[in-house]
Chains A and B, each alone.
Chain A
Amino acid sequence: MNEQSLALLKQGDTATIIALHGGCGFQHRVRSVGLKEGKLLRMVAKHHFAGPLVVEVERRHITIGRGMAQKIIVARAL
């Protein structure tokens, strides 16, 4: 397994979500837009200067801040 935080993925990488860190409220919010354990995602865009990330999950694009992405642990597909 190649575990890392979502924030470290490169543009174009695909990975599976394996764990969510952070508080209940945070976990609830990200799950409610489809970022759940076991889901496959693709890094669509990474903005400079610690800007937001765009990931695709279940055919939908989600924009998410760096800080939030750091709390999402993924396993990169090799």
Chain B
Amino acid sequence: MKTILLIGDPNVGKSVLFSRLTGVDVIASNYPGTTVDYLKGRMNLHGEPVEILDAPGTYSLEATNKAEEVAVSLLDQADVIVNVVDATSLERCLLLTVELLEKRKPVIVALNMWDEAQHLGIHIDVRELENILQVPVVPTVAITAEGIKELVRRLDEARISERPRLEGEDQVWTEVGHIVRKVQSVAHRHHSVWDRLSDATVQSGTGWLTALGVLFALFWLVRLVGEGIIRYGVEPVFDLYRLPVAALSGWLGPGFLHDVLVGTLINGKVDYVQSMGILTTGLFVPFGMVLPYIIAFYLALALLEDSGYLPRLATVTDNVFHKLGLHGHGIIPVLLGLGCNVPGVLAARTLETRKQRFIAATLVSVTVPCMAQSAMIFGVLGHYGARYILLVYGTLSAVFILLGLVLNKTAHGECPELFLDIPPYRRPSLLAVTKKTWMRVRWFVAEAVPFLFLGVVVVNILNALGIIEHLARHVAPFMQCWFGLPGAAVPALLAGFLRKDLAVGMLVPLALSPAQLTIAVTVLTLYFPCVAAFAILLKELGVKDMLKAALAMILTALLVGGILRLVLM
């Protein structure tokens, strides 16, 4: 089977094009570095199946980070190269084009964002560009599918350019400048009010105000949408669901099967949070408590990503992140981590050095509460008012900063300066935002729900075998004197390893004081991430660094829990 490789600069629309060609839905955003791994898909080309690879963006074949290395290493597998070029930044994209032509493989150029280029008054002579490069050049607008048919029709015309080889970098640059002067003309444009506003969002004072405003709006939107879904969607459905569950409970009668499926009855009734049955708590926690906020969060994130604001946020927050051994780009793993730590840790790949990747992955998995953890925090402390919730988030933020400072001092390696390409602001398309939200929600359900079911089963089995009781008895003295928590809280902390949100139902019946609950949820958030996040940490960091991260986790959880105990009790 023939392999076609999509390759190009970051943020030129390769992933949108990939999804147009293969029909495979992929996450695309308006900021460089959305794709950190390559994607594989298939399409039919004139009745024959071909494989399509979507590479992470790279400015040049001289890779400067891990994601770019992936892109370059894919070249060998390719039979045909589709070089995706941003028509609004022709000069910069042509560097890669010229380098690719030197590889002596069949190339075809997709001149993407053609509509935007015309809008900006950039005219490109496509015929002339084809003549110079000696490969086909097709103007496309991947977002609206304009020009895609033409690109597919001409894929066979992709050919090996017979241009003379260029010697050294200087010649390549001279050649690029030469080509641009020949094929491109730009109409002069004045600095508009819009441009001034756009500038203000990256300048120091106004930039911080914008950042605070945007983050506030983000959380407000998440709450509004999340609560809306719960009130009008989740509550009515689960109220109806009580009838069949009650019937099943009566039919099963007491016993092990009842405990696993329905769980323990609280005051003679099923309690969705505390019963701990697969069909009650196992369904309610993911779908009733966490999912509404997951949907809301990913919707807000998609709007933020597609607007093009994130690189500006990275610029404004750069100073702070530098103190933590990262640079402004570190905001992206953190933001993604607020949804789920797994994509957060994955996003650390776009950072340049190993030290940065280690710090970002560790900080995200230790201190950034994912939606399930947030659901736990709100679920446990919600009744006691905002004070305790703020205390938990305040503690986590403080630990984020302190742990960052410590890791920056102790981890070896460099933290280079921020170097970012800022895309223009774009209006997010409703269709793209909906699709992206749906994909991430679907991913979350597929990923999280099995672990939750497993958690419920394991908790029940351990309970039935008396193992939890045994463990609780042994750990209880330590828990009591260090965290001020009763031994009964041990099962909740153990279950947290599988899923944090499961711990809510196990903490609520213990009648702990708000201060004890605050300590419990803080420790739960800080210590080991869930199994899924742990697996990804191992994969991204390797065994040695993962163990270091785990050590940082345990020490932080012990230290912070102990300090909170001294302060609160």
Residue in A closest to B422 when the chains form the complex, CB atoms? A61
Q: Please, which residues of chain A bring their CB within 8 A of the CB of B455?
A: none
Residue of B60, B311, B314, B422 most packed against chain A (CB within 10 A): B422
Interface set of B (CB-CB < 8 Å, partner A) = 59-60, 62, 64, 88-89, 91-92, 95, 120, 169, 173, 177, 189, 199, 202-204, 207, 311, 314-316, 318-319, 327-328, 416-422, 424
B143 to chain A, nearest CB (A): 19
Does A31 sit at the interface, judged by CB under 8 A?
Answer: yes
Contact (Cβ within 8 A) B204 A48? yes
Contact (Cβ within 8 A) B92 A34? yes
B480 to chain A, nearest CB (A): 46
Which residues of A36-78 are within 8 A (CB) of B? 36, 38, 44-49, 51-52, 54, 58-68
Chosen A-B contacts, 10 in total, with CB atoms closer than 8 Å, are A29-B64, A31-B173, A32-B95, A33-B92, A33-B419, A34-B91, A44-B203, A45-B207, A58-B92, A67-B417
Given contacts A60-B89, A63-B315, whether A11 and B417 have CB atoms under 8 Å apart is no
A25–B352 Cα distance when bound, in Å, is: 13
Given contacts A44-B199, A45-B204, A47-B319, whether A60 and B419 have CB atoms under 8 Å apart is no
Give the residue of A30, A32, A44, A63 whose beta carbon is less than 8 angstroms from that of B418: A63
B41 to chain A, nearest CB (A): 28
Residue of A11, A30, A33, A63 most packed against chain B (CB within 10 A): A63
Contact (Cβ within 8 A) A65 B173? no
Residue in B closest to A30 when the chains form the complex, CB atoms? B419
Task: Label chain A's interface by main secondary structure.
Answer: mixed
Does A28 sit at the interface, judged by CB under 8 A?
Answer: yes
A63–B204 Cα distance when bound, in Å, is: 13
Give the residue of B62, B89, B203, B419 whose beta carbon is less than 8 angstroms from that of A58: B89
Given contacts A48-B204, A52-B318, A66-B417, whether A58 and B60 have CB atoms under 8 Å apart is no
Interface set of A (CB-CB < 8 Å, partner B) = 11, 24-25, 28-34, 36, 38, 44-49, 51-52, 54, 58-68
Give the residue of B64, B169, B177, B318 whose beta carbon is less than 8 angstroms from that of A63: B318
Contact (Cβ within 8 A) A45 B203? yes
A47–B173 Cα distance when bound, in Å, is: 31
Q: Please, which residues of chain A bring their CB within 8 A of the CB of B177?
A: 36, 38
Contact (Cβ within 8 A) B421 A62? yes
Contact (Cβ within 8 A) B421 A33? yes
A29–B417 Cα distance when bound, in Å, is: 13
Give the residue of A28, A49, A60, A62 whose beta carbon is less than 8 angstroms from that of B319: A49
| Additional 6 contacts, C-beta under 8 A, given A33-B92, A38-B177, A45-B207 | A29-B419, A31-B173, A51-B318, A58-B89, A62-B421, A63-B311
Contact (Cβ within 8 A) A61 B202? yes
Q: Please, which residues of chain B bring their CB within 8 A of the CB of A30?
A: 419
A62–B173 Cα distance when bound, in Å, is: 19
Residue in B closest to A27 when the chains form the complex, CB atoms? B169
Q: Please, which residues of chain B bring their CB within 8 A of the CB of A29?
A: 59, 64, 419
Q: Please, which residues of chain A bring their CB within 8 A of the CB of B314?
A: 63
A4–B202 Cα distance when bound, in Å, is: 24
Give the residue of B59, B88, B318 whose beta carbon is less than 8 angstroms from that of A33: B59
A54–B64 Cα distance when bound, in Å, is: 21
Give the residue of B60, B89, B327 whose beta carbon is less than 8 angstroms from that of A34: B89
Nearest 3 A-B pairs (CB), nearest first? A65-B417, A61-B422, A32-B59
Contact (Cβ within 8 A) B59 A62? no
Residue in B closest to A37 when the chains form the complex, CB atoms? B173
B84 to chain A, nearest CB (A): 16
Contact (Cβ within 8 A) A62 B420? yes
